[in-house]
Structure 1
Amino acid sequence: MQYTKVLKAAAILAILALIVVILVYARPFLVPVTFAALLAMLLLPVAGWLQSKGIGEALAVLLSILALVAFLALVIFLVSWQVSDIAANASKVETRVREKYQEVQQLVAQEFGISPKEQQQMIETQQSSASGKMSAMITGFLSGLGTLLTNLLLVLVYIFLFIYFRGRIKGFILRLVPQERRKKALATIHESQQVVQQYLSGLSLMIVCLWVMYSIGFSIIGVENAFFFAMMCGLLEIVPFVGNITGTILTLAMSLVQGGGLNLVIGILITYALVQFIQTYLLEPLVVGAEVNINPMATIMGLVAGEMIWGIPGMILAIPLMGIARIVCEHVPALEPYAYLIGQEKKESRWKKKAGEFAEKIKALFKRKR
């Protein structure tokens, strides 16, 4: 009996190791497919609504994809517009960076006894050793850009195929389970689609709301290129926990480089705290609605594992994939302990509960008006 348990545990570990190996080595294929599958779930209601208006299935799918492309193009245009605005002031920023650099040189000379001339010689030595790598870095960047464009095209093609052949994909999944469990399998598919749709649509609306709030806050306290940093903080929200903090740190660093003082730093921190409060206690219940219900421990471990396996795409995909995994585990009796391990009970604080009730009242009011 004990020997059987050991074999079972060893088999599970071997399967997990094999899955990780497949995920790592099949990354070029799996990452675009996974992005496409999640975005296809997001666009399913749009394609269905267009079909209900009498538009053919293929054209409805194509129009929904074009709507997604138009939204992404708008975001890229806004970011490019802000970057060009920053580039126009590059000489001003360069002057301030040089001033800060000279201040640091003087500080190092006073504290460590290394003269500015010796510091410059050390930097030039490092630059000469790194100059040979510059051409390789440029080549790698251009190669990476080409790969990114290819993957974007693949994602769009996969989205079309996933939505157009969704009936066949669903039929394939149902044929994998016994007849008596197909009703539960259908419920699992429907719940997974619903969670992904609510998460992605809520996240998109959340990012727009963050753009507005950060833009107002940064403009009031006097951050240069406030809209650019607001967009950056909002877009980084796609990586939970890490994104907002990273965006705020970059905003602080650039503001200091641009000549900001202590008052500006305090203003940025206060803005971040206020936005986080509004996001947690008002926007999440109102905009996001149903959550993926993954506890913080599993979330952080999932983000770290996603980054180790798939890099930044893995961090972006970790939360929705864990949400789907939790739903699947909940519907499979043998896997229920894993759903319990990564999930969490909906225990809301008093403020969050009131915010949720307020959100439900607003949603009900909009439904009545319709």
Structure 2
Amino acid sequence: MTIDSKSITQKILLFVLVVTGLYFAKDFLMPLLIGGLLATLFLPVCKWIEKKKLSKGLAVFLCLILLLLIITGFISIFSWKISEVITDIDLVKQKIFEAGDYVQENILNRMGITIEDQIVLLKKEQQSLANIIVLIIGSLAYLVTNFVLTLVYFLLLLYYRTHIKNFILQLANPSHQNEIEKVIYSSSHIAQQYLVGLSKMIMCLWVMYGIGFSLLGVKNAIFFAILCGVLEIVPFIGNITGTTLTVLVSALHGASFPLLGGIVLVYGTIQFIQGFFLEPIIVGPQVRINSLFTIIALVLGELLWGIPGVILAIPITAILKIICDHIEPLKPYGFLIGDTEKSRISLITTIKNYLKK
């Protein structure tokens, strides 16, 4: 068996070109992909409305209204809980000032730099107020522009979905059109399954974290439960980040070591329940990606597109996996990305069969 070095070189070159294109086209692709994922999520709703004898345009518009209501409701709930945390901001400021004084004293004692000189050095490194204001305004304008673009793509992709599907089918040979149609259906179905499953997962985590933190007596338990659940959008890293923030803020409020240990214990227990029970039942094995490629996708997404890339990395990889699974030459890549661990799936199947009996 010989290795085709030319073929390998072409594949590596293609990968480099794709990654380079993704990086330089991020401002165009990010709102388009987010709008496409949201359109996929609302596709069953749009079809259901159309079955009620309403026009496609009206159905798409109602989906947009529903999306805006969901976003507004989530922001309202999160803002309400944040307002409770802000009441403790004075305590946080005091702790930060105390830590700053401690650091300044250590620098004075160990390096001989006076506090006055330290302040002068810090002022030199700080940006001017005008530069900070310009940066904030620029960031807000960027966010608003991308949000509006995302909504426009959401509307148009839902409205022209059949037209786009027919275009893709026309690109394929007539003998392959049935297979391409299966790939399109499977990709949209898997995307819906992943997004709906992730939403259900976050709700379950809200309940479990809320109960666990409340029983422990964590201050602002509901806020941290919501935070830990939302950060589940980023696998592995999000869970750890949310729990770490909960531990740090609780420590700033003078929580005892048993309470801090209890927070970590709640996190570990919920992660066990999530990994062995919730994910196989809610998300399903079809969209599972092994841990190695989950980390690779997250790192690559962050390097290319920053935080939006981290959020988009997993659903895009899941869609890529299902496309590879349905195209014969790409099946080895789908196998490589997929999860080979069957123990959790077998455990859930055994439980389901037992309950049926």
With normalisation by structure 1, the TM-score equals 0.87
Give the one of 335, 349, 353 matched to 2:346.
353
Deviates more, 1:282-291 or 1:271-280: 282-291
The question of whether the paired residues in 1 share the 8 Å contact of 2:190 and 2:322 is answered with no
- Aligned residue pairs total 355
CA distance in 2, matches of 1:353, 1:6: 40
Match of 2:266 among 267, 271, 295: 271
Q: Distance in 2 between matches of 1:130 and 1:360?
A: 64
1:88 aligns with 2:81: no
RMSD across aligned positions (CA): 2.6
Compared CA separation, residues 135 and 222, structure 1 to 2 (3 A) = farther
Q: Which letter does structure 2 place at the counterpart of 1:139?
A: V
| Aligned position for 2:21 | 22
Residue pair 1:282, 1:356 contacting (<8 A) in 2 also: no
- After superposition, where does 1:1-370 map in structure 2 within 5 Å? 5-99=4-98, 101=100, 108=106, 113-114=109-110, 120-121=115-116, 123-133=118-128, 135-345=130-340, 347-349=342-344, 353-356=346-349, 358=351
- Secondary structure of the structure 1 residue equivalent to 2:235: coil
How far the C-alpha of 1:88 sits from its partner, in A, is 2.3
Structure 2 residue ranges without an equivalent (≥5): none
Segment drifting more, 50-59 vs 328-337: 328-337
> C-alpha displacement at 1:196, in angstroms?
0.5
Displacement of 1:187? 0.8
1:93: Cα distance to partner? Answer: 2.9
Q: 1:290 to 1:74 in 2, by over 3 A?
A: farther
* Residue of structure 2 equivalent to 1:368: none
**Any idea what SS the aligned residue of 1:156 has?**
helix
Change (3 A) 1:103 1:361: farther
Gaps spanning 5+ residues in structure 1: where?
365-370
Deviations 1:138-180 (CA, angstroms, capped at 9, x unpaired): 4223211221111111111111111111111110111111111
Per-residue displacement from partner, 1:249-292 (whole Å, max 9, x unpaired)? Answer: 11111111222231221011011012112212232233223441
Letter in structure 2 aligned against 1:167: T
Deviation at 1:123, TM superposition (A): 4.2
Q: Which residue identity is paired with 1:46?
A: V
Deviation at 1:247, TM superposition (A): 0.8
C-alpha distance in structure 1 between counterparts of 2:135 and 2:282, whole Å: 40
Q: Do the aligned residues in 1 keep the contact of 2:202 with 2:230 (CA within 8 Å)?
A: yes
- On the 8 A contact 1:294/1:344 being kept in 2, the answer is yes
Residue 119 of structure 1: how far off its partner (Å): 6.6
Q: CA deviation at 1:331?
A: 2.4
